[in-house]
Structure 1
Amino acid sequence: MVPGVLYFLVFQYGALFGNIVAFENYVPFLGFAQSQWVGLANFATLFGDPGFWQALRNTVELAGLQLVFFVPVPLALALLLHSVLRGWVRKAVTSVVFLPHFLSWVVAIALFQQVLGPTGLLGGVLSGGGSHLVNVFADPSLFKPLMIGELIWKDCGWATVIFTAALFGVNESLYESSAIDGAGPWRRFWHVTLPGIRPVLILVLVMRVGDILTVGFDQVMMQRDGFGPQVAEVLDTYVYFHATVNGDWSVAAAAGLFKGVVGLVLVVCANKIAHRLGEEGVYR
């Protein structure tokens, strides 16, 4: 456990001290101690920037779409694997859908570009072999659907494994009893399956809500220039460009702190809702 504990102590808890930059006119050459203290001035600048609100809007929209469309897909696939497929077939399908989770976003985006890019397979089919190239990666209206599709393809298998393990914890005798009582597949799903996996489902949703303002820096960063910052700028890329590119460390730190506080509030609220539903949640 020591390497994992050290990672969190150094790069997570230790890094919290850097939030002081959000309240200073931070100059890297002067450091934390000698940089001028400006209080909430950086937050006033941040909230007065239209680009920040655009990035926040894009982030919330993407997070909402991910929350709505991502969870049902692995749940449906887990139900299929649990109830229809058996033995080596189930293991083979699980391995195939789980494999993309281990790919980096660089490889994943490259694969999607080979299929959906201007010289990709779909572009060649849609253009009919003519000179008119179809570039899905340059249409701003397709950015959010493409992001959801990429996320489902890459991480659906990871969530499927979790839901499949939860389904194996449901007592089979409950299915048999409900079938004898005349319950069809839908009623068995609603009254047996969902209550049986509800603790895991709520845990996944709570963790997803806490990470709702993090919609995938690597995934967005690799496609931002093609779609344009108007639709592809999110909070993580906003922080990156203000800090690393523009050198405005203080405003970037204020944006990062704002994101962290909102995430904390969402986790606490979601966890309290889980307690009201009779579940343990992430913590007691």
Structure 2
Amino acid sequence: MKAVLNNQQDQIGLTRRHTFWLRIRRDALLYILLLLPLLYIAIFKYAPIYGLIMAFQDYNIFQGTSGSEWVGLDVFRFIFQQDSFYRALKNTLVLNVLDLVAGFPAPIILAILLNEVRMARFKKLTQTILYLPHFMSWVIIGGIVYLMFSNSGMVNLFLDSLGLSKIEFLSQKTPWLVTYITVGVWQNIGWGTIIYLAAITGINKELYEASDMDGCSRLRKMWHITLPGIKSTINILLILQIGRMVSIGFDRPFVMGNSLVSEYSDVISTFVYRVGISSGDFSQATAVGLFQSVVGLTLLIGANYIAKKLGEDGIW
């Protein structure tokens, strides 16, 4: 009896292995295409994890990780004693919260409005114009911002021609924050709209047809059909956005910031650039990066847990 069972298990194992290799041969081209993104992730995402050891060393670029002195948590203690780090952390959180409040609903609203447009050519033209800023370098956008909002820029020249006082868009706290957030929304709104438009296309069209028969207005269809239909997508993107609360890109605050607003524009990414690249202290830069990753993961897990507790869709 045991011999029969073992023989059957061997046959099942052989069948599975045969099926596996058959699928590999059948979809060989697809697997080859998959190799490139897997190599990218392995080289640029997983391989650098080894470098985290620098956060616990007095790293010397000439001695490398194998020869540098081990200092344990001394680097973290030194960072947490710096007022400039807490200022950078506070500014990062403030800017990310403002981006979340102003920037997160914008592509949702825009996607719903574009979905209601019936003129196909106008819709495509509008989408193309809105997507373009996403592909522009922040260096170019920074130049545009300077030409538009500096003291001698187009906006202030226009205000001056009307006899109004100039606004210090780039050198005072509140105007700079408004400019920073507005430019960020303008740059990202078109790209975010793509995701929500794709989600909207997955909504059952029969729901709209039934609502038309019931005499529902467009506003009611948006509120009772479109928004609930993309709720799961909104939840997932919101959770991911919360997970990035302590992370912020380098280009935008560096290009738009200046010495007059450094108290508000100095964020974690510029702090890392200053202590890691400019000063050559790679241990501090690595420690701050590890701190961001740990806090970001904690926020992500916490946001996903709360969403599941509230009965909403989570990432997992």
| 8 Å contact from structure 1 (residues 217, 237) kept in 2 | yes
1:61 aligns with 2:94: yes
C-alpha distance in 2 between matches for 1:133 and 1:81: 35
How far the C-alpha of 1:7 sits from its partner, in A, is 2.1
Letter in structure 1 aligned against 2:237 = V
C-alpha distance in 1 between matches for 2:39 and 2:237: 25
How far the C-alpha of 1:215 sits from its partner, in A, is 2.6
Letter in structure 2 aligned against 1:70 = G
Task: Look up the match of 1:76.
Answer: 109
Moved over 6 A (4+): none
1:245 aligns with 2:284: no
C-alpha distance in 1 between matches for 2:302 and 2:219: 31
Letter in structure 1 aligned against 2:227 = L
Q: How does 1:156-195 map to 2 (within 5 A)?
A: 156-178=189-211, 180-181=213-214, 183-195=216-228
| 8 Å contact from structure 1 (residues 127, 134) kept in 2 | no
Letter in structure 1 aligned against 2:289 = G
1:38 aligns with 2:74: no
> What runs of 5+ residues in structure 2 fail to find an aligned partner?
1-33
C-alpha distance in 1 between matches for 2:101 and 2:256: 22
Match of 1:99 among 102, 124, 132: 132
Cα distance, 1:242–1:192 mapped onto 2, change above 3 Å: same
| 8 Å contact from structure 2 (residues 133, 188) kept in 1 | yes
Letter in structure 1 aligned against 2:116 = S
| 8 Å contact from structure 2 (residues 167, 175) kept in 1 | no
C-alpha distance in 2 between matches for 1:201 and 1:194: 9
Task: Look up the match of 2:251.
Answer: 218
Letter in structure 2 aligned against 1:200 = T
Task: Look up the match of 1:206.
Answer: 239
How far the C-alpha of 1:216 sits from its partner, in A, is 2.2
How far the C-alpha of 1:124 sits from its partner, in A, is 1.0
C-alpha distance in 2 between matches for 1:164 and 1:80: 10
Cα distance, 1:154–1:185 mapped onto 2, change above 3 Å: same
Secondary structure, counterpart of 2:242 in structure 1:
helix
How far the C-alpha of 1:19 sits from its partner, in A, is 1.1
Task: Render the CA deviation track for 1:48-72: whole Å, top value 9, x for unaligned.
Answer: 1111111111000111111111121
Secondary structure, counterpart of 2:183 in structure 1:
helix
C-alpha distance in 2 between matches for 1:74 and 1:254: 34
Q: Find the structure with the greater CA-based Rg.
A: 2
Task: Look up the match of 2:29.
Answer: none
The range that moved more, 91-100 or 30-39, is: 30-39
1:111 aligns with 2:124: no
Task: Look up the match of 2:84.
Answer: 51
| 8 Å contact from structure 1 (residues 116, 122) kept in 2 | yes
Task: Look up the match of 1:12.
Answer: 45
How far the C-alpha of 1:190 sits from its partner, in A, is 3.2
How far the C-alpha of 1:37 sits from its partner, in A, is 1.0
Secondary structure, counterpart of 2:258 in structure 1:
helix
The number of equivalent residue pairs is 282
Task: Look up the match of 1:148.
Answer: 181
State the Cα RMSD in Å. Answer: 2.2
C-alpha distance in 2 between matches for 1:142 and 1:163: 30
How far the C-alpha of 1:258 sits from its partner, in A, is 0.5
| 8 Å contact from structure 1 (residues 22, 254) kept in 2 | yes
How far the C-alpha of 1:276 sits from its partner, in A, is 4.1
Task: Render the CA deviation track for 1:164-188: whole Å, top value 9, x for unaligned.
Answer: 1211211232234345556554543
Among the aligned pairs, what percent are the same residue? 35
| 8 Å contact from structure 1 (residues 143, 227) kept in 2 | no
What TM-score do you get using the length of structure 2 for normalisation?
0.82
| 8 Å contact from structure 1 (residues 118, 133) kept in 2 | yes
| 8 Å contact from structure 1 (residues 143, 232) kept in 2 | no
